[in-house]
Amino acid sequence: MRLFLFIFKRDMLLAIRRRRELANPLVFFIMVVSMFPLGVTPDHAFLAELSAGVIWVTALLAALISMDSMFRSDYGDGSLEQLLLMPGSKVVLISAKIAAHWVSIGLPLVIIAPLMSFLLFLPPQALPSLIITLLISTPILSLLGAVGVALTLSLRGGGVLSSLLTLPFYVPVLIFSTMAINAAAVNQPVSGYYALLAAFLIVSILLVPFAVVAALRVSYN
């Protein structure tokens, strides 16, 4: 637990120092979503129909472009190897890094999403499900992204490859999340979708740190 807090605090401090990198995904998210009414149509009904998908796809891509920051700079300056040489559980170490990444990238997206939903006229009854799906699923995005980044660390231009590796695993999350929001918009039950997403989250939390540790070993060999 001490190790977890130490790494978490360290990564949060670094995230705060790199404000520009922190703002990047958020600015991307706001810009893309606000372009839609301008570029497609300002028609309320049409935008309302699109809104769940647009918000989700944009949030997903915003998370994806920020994945690299999780390990790449620590790998580049040699601090990742120092962290791996620390006595202590590597799984805890990795979990702390992923948690810090989610708090600094995923959580701001969740917070800003309700505001963005007004731009796209998301039906008000669907708003809670937008927030809940984002809350459950953005950690999944950070977790799965970590595996892709860890696997491609030692490659030049690994960023593109890691996106390609990760994207297929994001698709189910995207499908179930938008289905939940659309169901909520027409007042249908949504708890089934939540349960599926939560199950996905739990499985990722349990398995991903081990996969990342193994992937890092591959990258260092």
Partner 1 sequence: MSKYKKSNSLQSTALQCERGGRVLFDNLTFELHAGEALLVQGANGSGKTSLLRIITGLTTAIEGDVLWNGRPITADEQAYQRELLFIGHQSAIKQELSVRENLRLHYALNGCGADSMVELAEKVGLRQRLGVICSRLSAGQQRRVALARLFLSEQPLWVLDEPLTALDVDFIAAIEACLQAHLANGGMLILTTHRGLDLGTATIRNLDLNESAKK
Q: Where along the sequence are the contacts to partner 1 (CB under 8 A)?
A: 6, 10, 13-14, 17-18, 76-79, 81-82, 84-88, 220-221
Cβ proximity to partner 1, 19 vs 191, nearer residue = 19
**Spatial contact of 194 and 68, defined as CB atoms under 8 Å apart:** no
Residue 63 CB-density burial (10 A; 0-12 exposed, 13-18 middle, 19+ buried): buried
Within its chain, how far is the Cα of 117 from the centroid? 18
CB of 79 to partner 1, least distance (A): 4
What DSSP string describes 70-110?
Answer: GTHHHHHTTHHHHHHHSSS-HHHHHHHHHHHHIIIIIHHHH
Residue 211 CB-density burial (10 A; 0-12 exposed, 13-18 middle, 19+ buried): middle
Question: Radius of gyration of the chain from Cα atoms?
Answer: 18
CB of 212 to partner 1, least distance (A): 16
CB of 83 to partner 1, least distance (A): 8
Cβ proximity to partner 1, 191 vs 221, nearer residue = 221
Cβ proximity to partner 1, 12 vs 61, nearer residue = 12
Amino acid present at 196: L
Cβ proximity to partner 1, 3 vs 135, nearer residue = 3
Neighbours of 145 (CB within 10 A): 28
CB of 66 to partner 1, least distance (A): 16
CB of 18 to partner 1, least distance (A): 6
Cβ proximity to partner 1, 39 vs 78, nearer residue = 78
